[in-house]
Amino acid sequence: MNFFKKLFGGGDSSADDYLENVQLEVNEEHIHYSNEIYWITKKVGDMMELMNEAMSKQDYDEAESVRLDWLKLVDIARDELDEVGDFKGNSYLLDSAIKYLHSYKTLLENGYKKLIELRKSGNKGTPEEQKQLKENNEDIALFTEIFNDSVDEFVAKYDSNGDFIDSSFENPFLEQAKNLNTSTNPLFEPIHGISLQDYAKIAYFMANGGTAADVCKILNIEMPVFDEANALWLKRMTEDKTFMVSMKYAEYFGQAGQNNKFLNFKNGNDNSSDDKNKFLKRLENDEEFYYELMGAREAAYDFGLDGASWIEKNFGIGLGEFQNIAMKWMQKTDKINEMLAHKEAKYKEYYLKLSRENNESVTDDIQF
């Protein structure tokens, strides 16, 4: 664990041995709690040494016995986590530890079972066996790093006195936009009959595949009229030194996916597949899923793909739809650090997924 290595001053190679003989002498309850979770999960990770020994001896019956004992230990550790429970209502580290154990169990039931069978049948060194070994190593590296990060993240949530650090904040610009009185302000007068709210809905519509020609048809106006209205709204936002127009536009754009007559024209009220509707509904109601897709999109970009197009291809969610829902989650900040950590974990998972799909390695092979 990164945090415990830092706490005791141990290096990467000596930290575990050092921890075996050290008792925490700190008063912070969250540190004691972290330590308790750590020792439960450490017992599971320590089984790797027994597996390595069996594999090195090419005793695959022993390796299978270790695998089965390892699975039993995972279940025992899971029960111990249930006994420990959350920390004063904060289940972040507990949930992370449970996911860590679940990842190990999945690996033991699948990846390690297959690896042992391949080697036992004389296939050590074959492309299939090497591929399985590489995937096992990558999975362990991934879920171990994610859990290590969660320990650091949990500890960082508390100050030196053990008090929870509230990292939430309110966006003053969005709050100000909600309270703006636009009825008597000439900056908010419609342009050629197009209000600022309509303009935001048009922008959302066009971000999701609509065209200027569609807009003109819906509003029954000529293209030059629309072009001028578009240019003048942009000019107002650019020249408004108070940023009131821009702030109100951002608020309207965040609501543009609802009751949007332009979208109804394009979609005929039923253009989306069941899967797309399911993902959209989940994105709107599940904060963790929103940050998961944020991580997935970033991973796709870093892998050299168009992240927005990748999200649309795999989840059916267009850029405009995604950005519209993002406006909602950007205003919710009570769990921002936790959600950013979740996003980072999902980034690593999706990057590994993309690497495997493209037959690229993200970790060095580890030979037993």
Q: Is residue 273 scored above 90 in pLDDT? A: no
The Cα 5–Cα 19 span in angstroms is 8
Same domain, yes or no, for 109 and 224? no
Is residue 151 domain-shared with residue 62, that is, in the same domain? yes
Give domain status of residue 32, yes or no: yes
| 285 and 245 housed in the same domain | no
Is 70 exceeded by the pLDDT of residue 212? yes
- Centre a 10 Å sphere on the Cβ of residue 287 and count the other Cβ atoms it contains: 17
Residue 1 confidence (pLDDT):
42
Give per-residue pLDDT as tens, 91-118: 999 999 999 999 999 999 999 999 999 9
Q: Is the pLDDT of residue 328 over 90?
A: no
Domain's final residue, options 113, 141, 156? 156
Range of the domain at 75: 2-156
- Is residue 149 domain-shared with residue 195, that is, in the same domain? no
| Number of domains within the chain | 3
Question: Of the candidates 112, 132, 156, which is a domain's last residue?
Answer: 156
Return the top range by mean pLDDT from 162-166, 170-174, 243-247, 319-323.
Answer: 243-247
Range with the lowest mean pLDDT among 15-24, 259-268, 313-322? 15-24
Contact call for residues 37 and 84 (beta carbons, < 8 A): yes
pLDDT band, very low/low/confident/very high, at 170 (cuts 50, 70, 90):
low
Whether 35 is in a domain gets the answer yes
Does residue 102 sit in the same domain as residue 241? no
Residues 152, 29 share a domain? yes
Answer yes or no: is 252 within a domain. yes
Query: Worst-scoring range by mean pLDDT, 6-15, 142-151, 166-175, 261-270?
Result: 6-15
Q: 351 pLDDT exceeds 60?
A: yes
Domain shared by 251 and 336, yes or no:
no
Q: For the residues 14-42, what does the mean pLDDT come to?
A: 68
21 with 139, same domain: the answer is yes
Domain end residue (candidates: 215, 244, 267):
267
Report the pLDDT value the prediction gives residue 127, as an integer from 0 to 100.
94
At 174, the pLDDT band (50, 70, 90 cuts) reads low
- pTM for the full predicted model: 0.61
pLDDT recorded at residue 323: 76
Shared domain check, 237 and 118: no
The mean pLDDT of the chain is 82
The answer to whether residue 367 scores a pLDDT higher than 80 is: no
Q: Which two tokens stand for residue 128?
A: 């299939």
Specify whether 316 is located in the same domain as 257: no
Task: Please give, one letter per residue, the 3-state secondary structure of the chain.
Answer: CHHHHHHHCCCCCCHHHHHHCCCCCCCCHHHHHHHHHHHHHHHHHHHHHHHHHHHHCCCHHHHHHHHHHHHHHHHHHHHHHHHHCCECCECHHHHHHHHHHHHHHHHHHCHHHHHHHHHHCCCCCCHHHHHHHHHHHHHHHHHHHHHHHHHHHHHHCECCCCCECCCCCCCHHHHHHHCCCCCCCHHHCCECCECHHHHHHHHHHHHCCCCHHHHHHHHCCCHHHHHHHHHHHHHHHHHCCCCHHHHHHHHHHHCCCCCCHHHHHHHCCCCCCHHHHHHHHHHHHCHHHHHHHHHHHHHHHHCCCCHHHHHHHHHCCCHHHHHHHHHHHHCCCCCHHHHHHHHHHHHHHHHHHHHHHCCCCCCCCCCC
